[in-house]
Chain A
């Protein structure tokens, strides 16, 4: 699988790069927990972070004029263990300078068809709003606590009512995970684009519709394999998002994270317009080999690591 991926990018003249896994900064996303460590330099230790993805460093390369690049590396996410989660996992991340989100989606499909041993008869692309409405009848972009609550009570997910309360984003995560995603299990390859703006992460907000972001996710048989963005390149907006996320961290009782100034400086210097995506390689291997747990494709999963 790795050989196929490397050949694929070599043919497209995308450069393979390596960036540090252990960095002096990390992301502020309140939903991503990281591993922190210390570089010993007495009397003061320097705090270092294992990266949850190589995104910031790769964007620094892009801003420095690298052109399109890809990387295969490990990523680390704390407190994520389950059938589809291992705290240490392999990522394939790539950026295409000058690509629209749609072009990137096509390239993702092209690669996945190459990698997959089973035939992929058709690639479905559907907007988040359309699939959410099809499955639930609810509008994901406009929050209505009453109709969300009624839906939850009628459809056997009443725990959502007490957990999510007035948190629109959490409601979407709950309903999407419990109801929408399972409806995708019959589809070999499905890409859901146009995620709500409140879940934009590091994607640009859509220029025609400010309620959605230029972000998509890839699902193989209902399992999420990757997350793609038309990359946010505005340093001011990026810094605001860091501040907002830090605020959310504070509200959740989490430590405030120092903003990655090297990354922000790179954005200020100018990130070329580009689209990028990270794919989880362990999950991809799992689906290609037709297993239903990461333990089947990782030699020593977390509890035996």
Chain B
């Protein structure tokens, strides 16, 4: 894999750090008037999502990470692995629980997701920004309440728990923003 100099650092660049693939979020070039230059870099570890700050001496180089994003369709879970497919090529990828840990509650069969590959194996999966899921369980709705104020917890078919307005009933489909985990609207069938 190519090496990158600090002079090439910019947001989005994928590099290896402490044996983990990372993405640069922010890069600041710091140089005192007559002195050593540094690059102060904010980096997201793509394995665990943690953001750390690291300083490099300017001019140093680091190994790039072979990381890329692909669009895949979620197929099924066999109990141990989650299976995805690239629709154009029918190429399949199986992701383990660490790769889907954060998002498994939003996964619905046939939905399109973004998969991040590292050295051609799944590192993480990002669900679509909005998913439509059926309500599996919630307290009975109150008739006439349409204001949506207050709300109640509801468990989705996928296991996710979302706060919904009081009028939402078991079996209804709702639209959820996966980035915030918030209820958006009911879906007319």
* Beta-carbon contact of B36 and A174 below 8 Å: yes
Question: A31 at the A/B interface (Cβ < 8 Å)?
Answer: yes
CB distance from B91 to the nearest CB of A (A): 36
Query: In the bound complex, what is the Cα–Cα distance between A293 and B10 (angstroms)?
Result: 16
Chain A, residues 54-93, CB within 8 Å of chain B (1/0): the string is 0000000000000000000000000111111100000000
Across the interface, name the chain A residue whose C-beta is closest to B39: A82
* Beta-carbon contact of B55 and A83 below 8 Å: no
Contacts known (A83-B29, A85-B29); A31 close to B57, Cβ less than 8 A: no
CB distance from A19 to the nearest CB of B (A): 20
Question: A177 at the A/B interface (Cβ < 8 Å)?
Answer: yes
Contacts known (A79-B58, A79-B59); A31 close to B35, Cβ less than 8 A: yes
CB distance from A120 to the nearest CB of B (A): 20
Size of A's binding interface in residues, CB under 8 A: 29
Question: A243 at the A/B interface (Cβ < 8 Å)?
Answer: no
* Beta-carbon contact of B55 and A160 below 8 Å: yes
By a CB distance below 8 angstroms, the chain B residues around A81 are 7, 29
Across the interface, name the chain A residue whose C-beta is closest to B54: A159
Contacts known (A79-B7, A81-B7); A170 close to B36, Cβ less than 8 A: yes
Q: Which of A170, A174, A178, A181 has the most CB of B within 10 A?
A: A174
Query: In the bound complex, what is the Cα–Cα distance between A226 and B57 (angstroms)?
Result: 23
* Beta-carbon contact of B29 and A169 below 8 Å: no
**B36-64 interface (Cβ within 8 A of A):** 36-38, 40, 54-59
Q: Which of B33, B35, B37 has the most CB of A within 10 A?
A: B33
Contacts known (A85-B29, A159-B55, A163-B57); A80 close to B36, Cβ less than 8 A: no
* Beta-carbon contact of A31 and B37 below 8 Å: yes
By a CB distance below 8 angstroms, the chain B residues around A199 are 34-35
Across the interface, name the chain A residue whose C-beta is closest to B35: A173
* Beta-carbon contact of A31 and B36 below 8 Å: yes
**B5-37 interface (Cβ within 8 A of A):** 7, 27-37
Query: In the bound complex, what is the Cα–Cα distance between A302 and B87 (angstroms)?
Result: 41
By a CB distance below 8 angstroms, the chain B residues around A160 are 55
* Beta-carbon contact of A82 and B29 below 8 Å: yes
By a CB distance below 8 angstroms, the chain A residues around B59 are 79
Question: A238 at the A/B interface (Cβ < 8 Å)?
Answer: no
Question: A224 at the A/B interface (Cβ < 8 Å)?
Answer: yes
Question: A145 at the A/B interface (Cβ < 8 Å)?
Answer: no
- Beyond the given pairs A83-B28, A160-B55, A173-B38, 4 more chain A to chain B contacts, judged by CB atoms under 8 angstroms and listed by A's residue number, are A79-B58, A85-B29, A169-B35, A224-B33
Give 20 CB contacts A-B under 8 Å: A31-B34, A79-B58, A80-B29, A81-B29, A82-B28, A82-B31, A83-B28, A85-B29, A85-B31, A159-B54, A160-B55, A163-B57, A169-B36, A172-B35, A173-B32, A174-B36, A174-B55, A178-B30, A181-B32, A227-B33
List the interface of chain A (C-beta within 8 A of B): 29, 31-32, 79-85, 157, 159-160, 163, 169-170, 172-174, 176-178, 181, 199, 201, 217, 224, 226-227
